[in-house]
Chain A
Amino acid sequence: MSAQTGKIRLWLGDEAVAQAAIDAGISGVYAYPGTPSTEITEYIQKSAEARALGVRSAWSCNEKTAMEEALGMSFAGKRAMACMKHVGLNVAADPFMNAAITGAHGGLVVVVADDPSMHSSQNEQDSRYYGVFAQVPFFEPADQQEAYDQTREAFDFSERWGVPVMLRLTTRLAHSRANVKRRVEQPRAQNPIRFHDDPRRFVLLPAIARRNYNELLKKLPEFQAAAEASPYNTVEEGSDRSLGIVACGLAVNYLREAYGDEACPHPVLKISQYPAPRKALARMLERCESVLVLEDGYPLVEDLMKGVNARPGAVRGRLDGTLPRAGELDPDIVAQALGHAAPHTHEVPADVVPRPPSLCAGCPHANTYDFLRDAMADHPGGRVFSDIGCYTLGALPPYEAINSCVDMGASVTMAKGAAEAGVHPSVAVIGDSTFMHSGLTGLLDIVEDKTPMTLIIADNLTTGMTGGQPVAAAGRLEDIVKGLGVAPEHVHVLVPLPGNHKANTEILRKELDYRGPSVIISRRQCVVAARAGKSGIG
Chain B
Amino acid sequence: MTHQDILIAGVGGQGILSIAGIIGTAAIERGLHVKQCEVHGMAQRGGAVVSHLRLSEKPIASDLIGRGRADLLLAMEPMEGLRHLPWLKHDGGVLVANRVPVRNLKTYPATEALIAHIDRLQKRRLLDAEALARKAGTVRAVNSVLLGAASAFLMIPAEVIRDAVAQFFDYKGATIVEQNLMAFDLGRAAAEENSKAS
* Residues of chain A contacted by B106 (CB below 8 angstroms): 397
Distance in angstroms between the alpha carbons of A172 and B86 in the assembled complex: 20
Q: At the interface, yes or no: B134 with Cβ under 8 Å from chain A?
A: no
Q: How large is the interface on A (under 10, 10 to 19, 20 to 34, 35 or more residues)?
A: 35 or more
On whether the beta carbons of B39 and A253 are closer than 8 Å, the reply is no
Distance in angstroms between the alpha carbons of A346 and B39 in the assembled complex: 23
Distance in angstroms between the alpha carbons of A347 and B104 in the assembled complex: 24
Q: Shortest beta-carbon distance, B32 to chain A, in Å?
A: 9
Chain B, Cβ-Cβ closest to A357 = B47
Q: At the interface, yes or no: A355 with Cβ under 8 Å from chain B?
A: yes
Q: At the interface, yes or no: A282 with Cβ under 8 Å from chain B?
A: no
Q: Shortest beta-carbon distance, B62 to chain A, in Å?
A: 4
On whether the beta carbons of A172 and B42 are closer than 8 Å, the reply is no
Chain B, Cβ-Cβ closest to A393 = B45
On whether the beta carbons of A358 and B109 are closer than 8 Å, the reply is no
Q: Within the complex, which residue of B34, B62, B83, B109 is in contact with A348, where a contact is CB–CB below 8 Å?
A: B83
Q: Within the complex, which residue of A8, A38, A176, A253 is in contact with B25, where a contact is CB–CB below 8 Å?
A: A8
Identify the stretch in A200-208, A225-233, A329-337, A500-508 within 8 Å (CB) of chain B at 4 or more residues.
Answer: A329-337
A351-B114, A357-B47 known; A346-B40 Cβ under 8 A: no
Distance in angstroms between the alpha carbons of A99 and B91 in the assembled complex: 56
Q: Shortest beta-carbon distance, B8 to chain A, in Å?
A: 13
* Residues of chain A contacted by B67 (CB below 8 angstroms): 332, 342-343, 345
Q: At the interface, yes or no: A352 with Cβ under 8 Å from chain B?
A: yes
Distance in angstroms between the alpha carbons of A353 and B61 in the assembled complex: 32
* Residues of chain B contacted by A1 (CB below 8 angstroms): 21, 25, 168
Q: At the interface, yes or no: A130 with Cβ under 8 Å from chain B?
A: no
Distance in angstroms between the alpha carbons of A349 and B83 in the assembled complex: 8
* Residues of chain B contacted by A345 (CB below 8 angstroms): 67-68, 85-88, 90
* Residues of chain A contacted by B108 (CB below 8 angstroms): 353
Distance in angstroms between the alpha carbons of A9 and B82 in the assembled complex: 33
On whether the beta carbons of B64 and A330 are closer than 8 Å, the reply is yes
Distance in angstroms between the alpha carbons of A357 and B105 in the assembled complex: 10
Q: Shortest beta-carbon distance, B37 to chain A, in Å?
A: 4
Distance in angstroms between the alpha carbons of A397 and B106 in the assembled complex: 10
Q: Within the complex, which residue of B35, B48, B86, B87 is in contact with A178, where a contact is CB–CB below 8 Å?
A: B35
A177-B34, A344-B68, A344-B90 known; A360-B25 Cβ under 8 A: no
Q: At the interface, yes or no: A467 with Cβ under 8 Å from chain B?
A: yes
Q: At the interface, yes or no: A119 with Cβ under 8 Å from chain B?
A: yes
Distance in angstroms between the alpha carbons of A41 and B67 in the assembled complex: 33
On whether the beta carbons of B43 and A390 are closer than 8 Å, the reply is no
* Residues of chain B contacted by A177 (CB below 8 angstroms): 24, 34-38
Chain B, Cβ-Cβ closest to A354 = B48
On whether the beta carbons of B38 and A175 are closer than 8 Å, the reply is yes
Q: Shortest beta-carbon distance, A157 to chain B, in Å?
A: 26
Distance in angstroms between the alpha carbons of A111 and B79 in the assembled complex: 37
Distance in angstroms between the alpha carbons of A204 and B129 in the assembled complex: 64
* Residues of chain B contacted by A332 (CB below 8 angstroms): 66-67
| Chain A, range 7-23, C-beta contacts under 8 Å to B | 8-10, 12
Distance in angstroms between the alpha carbons of A39 and B41 in the assembled complex: 11
* Residues of chain A contacted by B45 (CB below 8 angstroms): 357-360, 390, 393, 465
Chain A, Cβ-Cβ closest to B21 = A1
Q: At the interface, yes or no: A257 with Cβ under 8 Å from chain B?
A: yes
* Residues of chain A contacted by B34 (CB below 8 angstroms): 10, 177-179
Q: At the interface, yes or no: A292 with Cβ under 8 Å from chain B?
A: no
Q: Within the complex, which residue of A256, A347, A360 is in contact with B62, where a contact is CB–CB below 8 Å?
A: A256
A1-B168, A353-B107 known; A178-B60 Cβ under 8 A: yes
Chain A, Cβ-Cβ closest to B13 = A360
Q: How large is the interface on B (under 10, 10 to 19, 20 to 34, 35 or more residues)?
A: 35 or more
On whether the beta carbons of B62 and A35 are closer than 8 Å, the reply is no
Q: At the interface, yes or no: A161 with Cβ under 8 Å from chain B?
A: no
A10-B34, A351-B114 known; A257-B61 Cβ under 8 A: yes
Q: At the interface, yes or no: A36 with Cβ under 8 Å from chain B?
A: yes
Distance in angstroms between the alpha carbons of A178 and B108 in the assembled complex: 35
Q: At the interface, yes or no: A154 with Cβ under 8 Å from chain B?
A: no
Chain A interface helix/strand/loop/mixed: loop
Chain B, Cβ-Cβ closest to A259 = B61
On whether the beta carbons of A35 and B42 are closer than 8 Å, the reply is yes
| Chain B, range 19-62, C-beta contacts under 8 Å to A | 21, 24-25, 28-29, 33-48, 52, 60-62
Q: Within the complex, which residue of A175, A256, A257 is in contact with B40, where a contact is CB–CB below 8 Å?
A: A175
Distance in angstroms between the alpha carbons of A12 and B37 in the assembled complex: 9
Distance in angstroms between the alpha carbons of A257 and B110 in the assembled complex: 38
Chain B 7-25, CB within 8 Å of chain A: the 1/0 string?
0000111000000010011
* Residues of chain B contacted by A256 (CB below 8 angstroms): 61-62
Q: At the interface, yes or no: A254 with Cβ under 8 Å from chain B?
A: yes
| Chain B, range 83-115, C-beta contacts under 8 Å to A | 83, 85-91, 104-110, 113-114
On whether the beta carbons of B37 and A10 are closer than 8 Å, the reply is no
* Residues of chain A contacted by B33 (CB below 8 angstroms): 178-179
On whether the beta carbons of B62 and A349 are closer than 8 Å, the reply is no
Chain B, Cβ-Cβ closest to A118 = B42
On whether the beta carbons of A176 and B63 are closer than 8 Å, the reply is yes
Q: At the interface, yes or no: B135 with Cβ under 8 Å from chain A?
A: no
Q: Shortest beta-carbon distance, B125 to chain A, in Å?
A: 16
Distance in angstroms between the alpha carbons of A132 and B47 in the assembled complex: 36
Q: Shortest beta-carbon distance, A400 to chain B, in Å?
A: 14
| Chain B, range 130-167, C-beta contacts under 8 Å to A | none
Q: At the interface, yes or no: A466 with Cβ under 8 Å from chain B?
A: yes
* Residues of chain A contacted by B47 (CB below 8 angstroms): 355-358
A-B contact pairs, 21 of them (CB 8 A): A9-B28, A119-B43, A176-B52, A176-B63, A177-B38, A178-B34, A178-B60, A254-B62, A257-B62, A331-B64, A344-B90, A345-B85, A346-B86, A346-B121, A348-B82, A348-B86, A351-B113, A355-B46, A355-B105, A360-B46, A466-B41
| A-B pairs, 6 with minimum CB distance | A120-B41, A35-B41, A343-B68, A357-B47, A256-B61, A331-B66
- Other A-B contacts than A10-B24, A176-B38, A332-B66, 17 sampled, CB-CB below 8 A, are A3-B21, A9-B28, A35-B40, A35-B42, A120-B40, A120-B43, A176-B36, A332-B67, A345-B67, A345-B90, A347-B86, A349-B85, A352-B79, A352-B109, A355-B79, A359-B46, A393-B45
